[in-house]
Every structure is written in C-alpha cells, then in structure tokens.
Structure 1
Amino acid sequence: MKRALLNLSSLLVFLFFIIFLSPSFAQNNTTASNVLTVAIAGTQQLKLTSKIILGQEYSVQVNLPGHYSDTSKKFPVIYLLDSQWDFPLVSGIYGGQYYDGFMPEAIIVGITWGGENPNYGQLRARDFTPTNLGQGAQFGNAANFLTFIQQELTPFIEANYRVSKNNRTLMGSSLGGLFTLYALFKAPDFFQNYVLTSPATPWDQDVIYKIEQEYWDKNKTLPVRLYMATGDAEDVAIFNKWVNTVKGRKYTGLNLQTKVLENIGHSGTKPIGYTQGLQWVFKKTPVSLTATQLKPYVGTYLLDKEVLKIVIENNALVGIDAQNHKTVLAAETEKDFFVPGRFLFLHFQKDQANQVAGFQLEQFEGVTFAKKKE
C-alpha cells in the first residue's frame, strides 16, 4: 500500500511538471501584465487636424533613418498612403533595401486617419477618389486631400524634420494607387518619384484617363520616376490598357518601369511591388568614364593589413582582394563608385599634389580608408 502511494505521488509530481510547467500551459495562463506592445524602433506617431478637410484628424507615422542624429544630413522623404496597414511593411522593406545598397537613408511618412474608431474603408474611398459618383461627400475628395498633403502635411514635415525638399516619393496601392496617379497629373512637380501597385484605374468609367488627357493636352513632359505593377491574378488587361496609354504618350523626361508580378493577387502586389518600386525610383545610373579618367585609380592599396588591387577590365574599374575575388565598381561620379546590390561605396581622394592618395571605403559596418601604395 505504501509503495502504491509512493508511486501515485511520483506520478502526480511527474504530471505537475508535464502539465503545469509546459509551454502550452504557461502560454494559456499568461497575464495581461506580461503582454507588451511591439513598437518599430526609430518611429514616431503624430496627429494633425486638417483645416482643409473639415477638421479631419490624420494620424502621421514617421520612421527616422539610423543616422538621423547627424545634423549635417538631409534625407529623401517617402509619403506612404494607407499606413494603417502598410507602415510596418514599408519600414521593413526600406531596412532591407538600404542594407543592400539599393537606396539611400530616407524618412518614411505614413498617412492614415485618426480619431476614434476610424472607418478606413469609407475614409480612403472619400479621400483617394477624384469624383463623387453623385453620392455626395462619401467620394470625390482627392483634390482636397492632395491640397492637405501639399499645404498642411508637407510643410509640417519639412519644418520639423531634416528632409530634402526636392526628393519626395509618393506610394499607394489600389485606391491609393489611383490617388497616386491623380497626384502625378495634377501636381507633377510636387513629387519626384511615384510608386503604385494595382491602381483602381476603372474608377468612375476610367476617369483617370480623362485626367491624364487633360494633362497631355497642355504638357508633353513628365520629368519623374514612375513604377507601376499589378499581379497576374488580377485583370491584367485593365492594367495593360493603362500602361499602353502612358507609354504611348512618350513623355519627355519620364523614367517608367512597369511589372506584372507572377502568382500575385491584388493585396499581394505591395510587398514585391513596393520593394521593386523603391529600387527603381532610387536607382543609380552609372556614368561612363574613359580609360584616361579611370587610369589614376589603378594600383595597389592597403586596407588595414589587407592588400587590394584596382585594375581596369572592360572599360570599368575592378577591385581584386587577397583571395583574388573580383568586384566590378560602377561609377556614380568621376571619383565615387558603388557596387549594385551591395552596401559598398568607394570615394577616391587626392593629395595636395593632385595625386590619388587612396579611397574611403563605406560599408554598412562603418567607414575605413585604404591608402594607395607608391
């Protein structure tokens, strides 16, 4: 009997450890005091009440770059529509694209609606559409919303953050993509870059075509970078109709890229489309340098204790490390070079005798200097 009780006691102790200390039990008994809100590092949330749109409160989310503390720098600014859904997404995309060297440090400004329990569906339909379909204030507020961005939001951002006033990007999808196109043709000089996916071009019997036509009648130039994408699970014919219209204009100064994304539906265009769109609008175009311009950089360099060589191959500078790995260097200027798809930048420097002294090597981990051997 005593042995049986001991066995029962051991079994109960065993069950205690299995049941009460198991991860599933601990998870089911987590108290609210242990639940913490996850915040995106380096971000802020502000409120702006518009005087243009009947006292509408907007929630503005700001993501600051890692080197924002450097007061000598100003940064490109990306204005993102529908940030109630896409601010975390675009913040993550930006981090990856910056790390890979596809884009510079930038400030992201997310725009959404504030107030108590905002109805995002109704509010975005109101602010993103250019016509009201005869249904009053429920639709057709795009003109006022664009004015809000131009006259209230942007001046506030530029007064309180160190942003470049001539490097603004607007991003939107679906109805947000429709509004992005509306802004493109109504205020083409305000933003320099436009990224949009799955634009709702059929809105109100293709009214965006009329808006584009009105612009075309007065302007044959459109000096912006524009990226547009849709998913192949959407109605690609609708997208291609719009793309062919824009391409057919042959606007002077327009840098256009369009994509049909494989195995992607309407909402899924944003992760891939926004990634490729940011790459496109911030893409560096290599300059072509002559052999005479490149020759002064040829030689052997000492980086800490590592020996690096710079040679010319196929009319381009090529870096060769101690393991004989080759890296082609694209020219950004006559003295600044980069490697596409990598956070790697070389800035050649000259001495007082106007001879190449070495280069500053900028990587994600920091900046070092490679001295040229005499």
Structure 2
Amino acid sequence: MKYLIPFLMVLVFTNVQAQYPGVNIPGSEVRKITSKIVAGQEYELHIMLPAGYKAGDKKYPVVYLMDSQWDFPLVTGLYGEYYYDGFIPELIIVGVTWSGEKANYDSLRLRDYSPTKVAAMPGSGGADQFLAFMKQELFPFIESNYKADGENRTLMGCSGGAVFTLYTLFTQPELFTGYAAATPYIPWDNEVLYKYEQEFAKRRLGNPVRVYMTMGDVETTRPVYEKFAAHMAARHYPSVRLHSKILENTGHGGTKHETYARGLQYVFERPQLNLAASVLNSYAGNYQLPDGRTMQLKNEHGQLALYFGSNRMFTLYAASETDLYATAQFVNIHFEHASGKPSGCWLETYGNKQFAKKIN
C-alpha cells in the first residue's frame, strides 16, 4: 500500500494539471511530413520563425535541430538570447522529431541516426535513408513553404544526433554550411567515423563549412573523443573551420546548451575586416537621425567608433566595406552612397531601424 499511495498521488496531480492549457512557444508552429524514403514514417516539425518574418521577401538561414522532442524549447530560448545580443542573425529553426504520442524515441533515434548496422543493436543503420529524407523531402518542403535560404543551412545534434551530424559532414558536406555536434558517440561500431573522415579528408569542398564540437569533461568517452578531435584538427582541412572544446564539470546531457549556444555563435560569427584608412575617413563625421538627434563616427586607430554626444558608445567592426557592427550590443550599420560618397547609413538596433543622414 505504501507504494500505491505515491502512485495514486501522481495520478491525481497529473489529472489536476491536465485541466490547464499547456505552454506554447510564441512564434512557433507544428507541421507534419510523411516520408516515402523512410518507410512511410511521419515526422513532426517544430518550426520557429523570426519576429520580422512577415516583412519583405528576405530569405533566412535555417537551423535543422535533431531530437526536437527534447531540445526545441532550449534552442529557441538560446536563439532569442543570442539574437538580442547581436551575435547571430534572424533564423528559421526547424526541429525534427517523430510523430505519435507513443513514439519510441530510443529505437527511432537508433534507426535514423546510426550510419551502420550493428548486430547487437537491431534496427540500426538507417542514417543514409534519413539523410536522403532530409535532402529530397524535408529541404524542398521547408524551402517551398517558407522563406528559407537553401544556401545557408546548419545542422545540430547531440549524442546519436551528433554522430549523424558528423556523418553528414563527412559524406555530404555540401548540404550544410554549419555543424554543431554535442558529445558525439565516437565509439559507435568500432569507431567507424574514422573511415568516413578519411574519405572526407580527400575532398575539396566547393564552399567553406564551420564545425563546432564538444564533450563533457566527466564523460567516460572523453579520451576517445579527444583523440578523434585531435585527428581532425591535424588534418588542417582547407575549407573547414573547426573548433573542439571540452566542457568543464559537464556530463553527457549537460553539453547541449553550451554547444548549441556557442555553436550558433561560431557558425554565424562575422569577420572583422581591416578597411582602408580612406574608407574609414570617408565614413567619419556627423549623422542626423530622424528625431533630430545626432551621432558621430570617428576613425580611431584604424577602427570606427560610435559616439552620441561626448559618450563613446561602441567600437565598430567591419563585416564588409559597407556593413559594420558592434559586439557589445545589437548594433548594425549599413552605409549608403550617392555620387560615390557616403550619404548616410542605416542604424539597426534591436527592434528598430532608422536612416541617419550624413551632415558633415
């Protein structure tokens, strides 16, 4: 009876809670797609659209997240934080999971994420089919129904999902421009990922990719991971920017938030170009905003600095010759030209964009 009472209490608590509506994530929606490639499997897509999605015809980078049944709330929360700080652009997030109230995530993950069949793991070895589903069915669905940039995709996964992420990198690297792999299980099938990596090292990629990988420092597979990460780093792949990190005092499940947060920041990190002094000097001067306020740009030791009055606000870094940004806060500046000279700039801050006319 002492075991029955707590069980009944859980039932009562659950029933009471069921009377209240669930928590929804603003800006998100659920779509479903049935695959002809993966044996008629119905997948559920958790989709987050950026706040400015309905304005204009702009296309957005897409982040494809594995194991959305667990990690969609985490990643959408991280996206909001890092976008607010100006570290990442507006994104579409597509979380992929399996439909059904009684979906067996363990067996479905094993089937879709594992690259090879292992006799002791029945149902394994379906990564090629799942990858074909993404390429031939999922991408066309997303890119025909949403303003998605098919040239700017990122893949993120953890554990088995990270094995699939690295397998995709090694076998079809052209599908994504960014990869974030949290605690990949390198020992899978006698470390078979080495075989795929060996073939990948022989390739010359048409477009560069960025890869961010992690492992928790208390995990038992840490030595195997460190050996594999060092092997990758020693390759010095010509078109791959690679970063590996051991996360302090972190176990298997705890790697997700830092990997996805830092991974997104790494994948979308903008360059810091050195602009010619003549370009910087042409931008330096006073600018008037629509409300009458003025701001000043100064060339200080080869970089522009933004001032409001006598207050130095930000150092600006150049992503291109006409696009500059701050790292301390969400600030983007795009310069416009007339008759070969700067006529003003668009000043974009979080939730606001206005044109500042150059007055001298």
Check conservation: 2:204, 2:239, Cα contact below 8 A: no
| Counterpart AA for 2:58 | K
When residues 155 and 192 of structure 1 are mapped into structure 2, their CA distance, relative to the original with a 3 A threshold, is: same
Match of 1:248 in 2: 234
What corresponds to 2:166 in structure 1? 181
Q: Find the partner of 1:204 among 173, 189, 194.
A: 189
Q: Which residue pairs with 1:275 in the alignment?
A: 261
CA contact (8 A) 2:57 2:147 kept: no
For residue 167 of structure 1, what is the aligned residue in structure 2?
A: 152
Q: 2:330 aligns with which of 325, 335, 343?
A: 343
Asked if 1:64 is matched to 2:55, the reply is no
Q: 2:319 aligns with which of 323, 328, 332?
A: 332
Cα deviation, residue 370, structure 1: 2.1
CA gap 1:124/1:145 in 2 versus in 1, 3 angstroms: same
1:110 alignment partner in structure 2: 95
Provide the residue aligned with 2:222 in structure 1: 236
Q: Determine helix, strand or coil for the equivalent of 2:180.
A: strand
Q: SS of the residue aligned with 1:170? A: strand
Task: Find the counterpart in structure 1 of residue 199 from structure 2.
Answer: 214
- Of residues 349, 353, 357, the one that matches 1:367 is 353
Deviation at 1:342, TM superposition (A): 2.1
Deviation digits for residues 285-336 of structure 1 (CA, Å, limit 9, x no counterpart) = 1221110111111112233343322111121111122242241111122122
Q: Deviations over 1:9-31 (max 9, x none)?
A: xxxxxxxxxxxxxxxxxxx8x96
The residue number in structure 2 matching 1:47 is 32
Q: 1:228 to 1:324 in 2, by over 3 A?
A: same
CA distance in structure 1 between the partners assigned to 2:265 and 2:66 by the alignment: 18
How many residues align structurally? 346
Match of 1:147 among 110, 115, 132: 132
Amino acid at match of 1:117: K
Amino acid at match of 1:219: R
Secondary structure of the structure 2 residue equivalent to 1:144:
helix
SS at match of 1:138: coil
CA contact (8 A) 1:81 1:176 kept: yes
Instruction: State the SS of the aligned residue for 2:311.
Output: coil
Whole-Å Cα distance in 1 between the matches of residues 200 and 335 of structure 2?
45
- Contact between 2:345 and 2:357, CA under 8 Å: does it hold in 1? yes
Kindly provide the CA deviation profile for residues 54-109 of structure 1, in whole angstroms up to 9, marking residues without a partner as x: 11111111111111102411110111000000011101111111111111111111
Q: Which moved more, 1:79-88 or 1:153-162?
A: 153-162
The DSSP-based 3-state class of the residue aligned with 2:149 is strand
Following superposition, the deviation at residue 146 of structure 1 comes to: 0.7
Aligned mates of 2:121, 2:254 — CA distance in 1: 32
Q: Distance in 2 between matches of 1:33 and 1:266?
A: 31
- Kindly report which structure 2 residues correspond to 1:114-125, keeping only aligned pairs within 5 A, or say none: 114-125=99-110
- Percent identity over the alignment is 44
The amino acid of 1:85's aligned partner reads: W
Instruction: Indicate how the Cα distance of structure 1 residues 93 and 121 shifts in structure 2: closer, same or farther if over 3 A, else same.
Output: same
Equivalent position to 1:357, from 330, 339, 343: 343
Distance 1:255 1:50 in 2: 33
The amino acid of 2:217's aligned partner reads: D
Question: Is residue 322 of structure 1 aligned with residue 322 of structure 2?
Answer: no
Contact conserved, 1:45 with 1:62, CA < 8 A, in 2?
Answer: yes
* Residues 1:259 and 2:245 are matched in the alignment: yes
Unmatched segments (≥5 aa) in structure 1 = 1-27
- Partner of 1:358: helix, strand, or coil? strand
Q: Which amino acid aligns with 2:243?
A: Q
What secondary structure, in the 3-state scheme, does the structure 2 residue paired with 1:78 have? strand
Counterpart amino acid of residue 309 in structure 2: A
The one-letter code sitting in structure 2 at the alignment partner of 1:190 is: L
Question: In the TM superposition, what is the alpha-carbon distance from 1:283 to its structure 2 partner?
Answer: 0.5
Offset at residue 250 of structure 1 (A): 1.2
Question: Could you tell me which amino acid in structure 1 is paired with residue 235 of structure 2?
Answer: R
Contact kept? 1:59, 1:112, Cα under 8 Å: yes
Higher alpha-carbon Rg: 1
Q: 2: CA distance between counterparts of 1:365 and 1:56?
A: 40
Letter in 1 for 2:69: Q
Contact 2:314–2:328 (8 Å) recurs in 1? no
CA contact (8 A) 2:61 2:90 kept: yes
Which structure 2 residue ranges, 5 or more long, are not aligned? Answer: 1-12
Q: Could you tell me how far 1:368 is from its partner in structure 2?
A: 1.8
Which piece of structure 1 moves more, 339-348 or 163-172? 339-348
Contact 1:79/1:109, CA 8 A, preserved across alignment? yes
- Matches of 2:157 and 2:16, distance apart in 1: 39
Question: Cα–Cα, structure 1 residues 123 and 31, in superposed 2: closer, same or farther, change >3 Å?
Answer: closer
**Residues 306 and 322 of structure 1 are in contact (CA less than 8 Å); yes or no, is this contact kept in structure 2?**
no
